[in-house]
A = this chain, B = another copy of it.
Amino acid sequence: MVNNLWQIKQTDYKHNDSGKYETVFTLANGYKGMRGWLEFSKYGIPGNLIAGIFNQADSQVTEIVNNQNPLKISMYADNEALDIETCEVLDFDRTLDMKEGILYTTIELKTKSGRITKISSERFVSKNDVHRWGIKYTIKPVNYSGKIFIENVIDGTVTNSSFDPMNKTKHLNVKELYDLEKGIALKTVTKDKGIEIVEGILLKAEDGVLQNRKYRELGEEVSEAFEIRVEEGKQYTVEKYGVTYTSRDTDKDPFELLKDNMDNFVEKGLEEEVRLHKEKWNETWDKIDIQIKGDNQAQLGIRFNLFQITASASDEDDRVSIAAKALHGEGYKGHVFWDTEIYMLPFFIYTNPKIAKNLLMYRYNTLEGARKNARENGYIGAQFPWEAADDGTEVTPKWGVDYDGNPVRIWTGDEEFHISSDIVFGIWEYYRATKDKDFLVNHGMEIVLDTSKFWSSRVEYNEEFDRYEINRVIGPDEFHEHVNNNVYTNYLAKWNLEKGVELAEWLKTENKEVYDNLLDKLEITEDDIKEWQQIADKVYIPRDANSRVIEQFEGYFDLKDIEITEHDENGMPIWPDLQGYKLGETQLIKQPDVVMLMLLLGDEFDNETKKENYEYYEKRTMHKSSLSPSMYSIMGLTVGDTRNAYRYFMKTVMTDLEDNQGNAQLGLHAASTGGSWQSVVFGFGGVYVNKEEILCLNPWLPEKWDELSFKVNWRGNILNISITKENVSIKGTDEAKIKVYEKEYSIEKDKEIVILR
């Protein structure tokens, strides 16, 4: 039997796995993420995250709120709970159909008294109307006639970190319970900013099926219970309609919007919404799908990453971005890191530029916070936060605890400065691929200029060497703190300043009015811009003329050189003996740093340099971040280390599916989903944009791949690219010049060209 290459399956229930599967089976639509919580168990942790709803309460920093749980439902065969822990499980199957965006569940439970009930469900979180979600339950009393009771609940007792006794936090006060007569609703309000969240649910079945409704207010829960008279062997369908609104969505009472939407939703019916939802997913897959023939695991895996990264992004809202754990869990507190611009953004730029723009607009919309960060730290311009929530201010926790419970200062929020350049890099990459002048002129430029301004204040002039240094930083490799002149940070700061100068000149020509207004608004003079150039020219990039291998930061080569020699059964490094050294005193690194720089600014380094750096640092990289393997995979392919590239790629693709970082339960490894796409398209597809801004392909296929196909949106031209062992075929929706294996081809509109490899 051919494995369905669109479906992720779980066929064996163990409550200890529930966290992982809740993440893997999360359904999201960019507005809302509902974790794949199994409603037939008291175990597992429900997760109902809504993009942009943050609250601090008594936790250390603001965090994404786990909202009231509207998925809660209890079913009873007569007086026996249909609970997977207390019943015998005769059948269990959960299947995420990624093509349709539907989570199918089938369970067959036998109660203590011997009643067997089969329950199938189809859950969706609408991609058509992000406020809607629903479940179709089909309930079959297999060997009995009698009664089934259903209690439909919205649970307002939810806390964040419910699994962590020391950090459990309740962010919501329950404000109002509503009896809708048809359905129920519960409104909460965040404790700090008073954001209102209202969830409404409604059960619907054929006339006469749901009897004796009992509405109940149970403290912070609202509940409606029904009775169904059932006959042995018959099937009963109960549709659950869900609608969500928050005060972020409207100036009115969100409950009013909920009621209107619910009325309309019920009138049109669940089936119709499901149809539109599937249609939207179909349209999306047409843009994003990657086909890998000959490698089912890679095929299924890449689709999982494409599905979940897409589910994480809002089509509409430009006040939110994608968190490190997306809408799939509370991990990293729902904060946004460089992960978005550096790992995820490329996927959107090349498949759905509108979303890419929204993600960048989130940074534009949080510029005020970034300016506040700069001010508070004694700088000028805009300093983006290492961890961002709803307003752009720095929300990295200042303190953690070490294993012994001693407070440990967390320095990333103070020292990981490269985030500001990373965002500008994202803007540039977006502009290069879309030529969206409107965005660059009206929004992007403000970021480019204000971060340049920031860097001009951040750099430190070293008179002795007549150079600008950036000291006391953390680069992408977080094993080393308080380092001076981290090459990644310095190089990108320099690049940021240069882009500031270059694009200022461009804007002056392009739109003098905006240019003048912007300089005015940001209090930047043309002399300032000149100074940026002078600084950029003198930003210190530590390089040894005698070696191609670039020192990650000043003094790195003097650290104890401990190489990785052993790998576990998954091919991941095993900690070498630290010989009594602290981690920061060794050359071991968490993730690529110099190599990362060479991936972002590939044109600035020749191939031999890339190769030597790859070889040097790869041996010293512990991959203690899911951001690591994908990048090594791409660089491996660039420099010809195809041996490791496939292994790193599969590690990336399977991050959550095989839980190879061991923390999938905390949420999606969102960077890794973007990294997976980059591994395929930039790595195996060999797609890059050269200095002349021509799209280049330099594909290489692993042995078992018969064919790799994907689409990229290059300046509005949808290029359909297919690579086999024999040839590369390209077809565009518009004409283009493209280089394949360094040779330039002219593509005509709608005409496939086939190039022999």
Contact = CB atoms under 8 A, between A and B. Distances in A.
- The winner among A156, A167, A169, A170 for most chain B CB atoms within 10 A is A170
Contacts of A217: 170
Interface stretch (A100-108, A158-166, A311-319, A596-604): A158-166
B43 A43 contact: no
Interface stretch (A147-155, A251-259, A390-398, A482-490): A147-155
Interface string A152-195: 00001101000111111110111000000000000000000000
Given A74-B165, A147-B405, A221-B157, A216 B170 contact: yes
Interface stretch (A79-87, A514-522, A572-580): A79-87
Contacts of A43: 42, 85-86
Contacts of A212: 166, 405
Contacts of A219: 156-157, 159, 170, 172-174, 219-220
A229 B405 contact: yes
Contacts of A74: 165
Nearest to A212: B405
Given A42-B43, A220-B157, A405-B212, A168 B225 contact: yes
A227 B166 contact: yes
A3 B507 CA distance: 93
A234 interface: no
Contact of A218 (B86, B112, B168, B403): B168
A149 B494 CA distance: 48
A76 interface: yes
Contact of A16 (B86, B147, B169): B86
A163 B225 contact: no
Contacts of A159: 218-219
A378 B693 CA distance: 99
A15 interface: yes
A165 B147 contact: no
A221 B170 CA distance: 10
Nearest to A83: B43
Interface string A207-218: 000011010111
A81 B156 CA distance: 23
A660 to B, nearest CB: 17
A255 to B, nearest CB: 20
Nearest to A58: B216
B165 A150 contact: yes
A552 interface: no
A295 B217 CA distance: 52
A16 B405 CA distance: 39
Contact of A214 (B15, B166, B173): B166
A439 to B, nearest CB: 44
Contacts of A173: 219
Contacts of A216: 58, 168-170
A384 B150 CA distance: 39
A223 interface: yes
- The winner among A15, A214, A216, A403 for most chain B CB atoms within 10 A is A216
A76 B403 CA distance: 15
Nearest to A172: B219
Contacts of A15: 85-86
- The winner among A149, A167, A168, A404 for most chain B CB atoms within 10 A is A168
Contacts of A166: 149, 212, 214, 225, 227
A225 B229 CA distance: 46
Nearest to A81: B163
A221 B157 CA distance: 9
A181 to B, nearest CB: 16
A447 to B, nearest CB: 39
A688 to B, nearest CB: 42
Contacts of A169: 216
Interface in A211-246: 211-212, 214, 216-221, 223, 225, 227, 229
A151 B165 contact: yes
Contacts of A42: 42-43
Nearest to A173: B219
Contact of A76 (B149, B165, B218): B165
A219 B157 CA distance: 6
A342 B495 CA distance: 93
A300 to B, nearest CB: 26
A56 to B, nearest CB: 14
A656 B658 CA distance: 49
Contacts of A168: 151, 216, 218, 223, 225
Contacts of A170: 216-219
A167 B43 CA distance: 24
Contacts of A165: 74, 76, 149-151, 214, 223, 225
A703 B44 CA distance: 56
Contact of A220 (B58, B150, B163, B220): B220
A149 B168 CA distance: 12
Nearest to A174: B219
Contacts of A147: 405
A220 B156 CA distance: 10
Given A150-B165, A216-B58, A220-B219, A211 B16 contact: no
A167 B165 CA distance: 32
Contacts of A79: 163-164
A174 B79 CA distance: 29
Interface in A72-123: 74, 76, 79, 81, 85-86, 112
A226 to B, nearest CB: 8
A103 to B, nearest CB: 23
Contacts of A164: 79
A170 B177 CA distance: 14
6 contacts: A16-B86, A43-B85, A150-B165, A157-B219, A166-B214, A212-B405
Given A151-B165, A156-B219, A169-B216, 19 more contacts: A16-B86, A42-B42, A43-B85, A43-B86, A58-B216, A146-B403, A157-B157, A157-B220, A157-B221, A159-B218, A165-B214, A165-B225, A166-B212, A170-B219, A173-B219, A212-B405, A219-B219, A229-B404, A229-B405
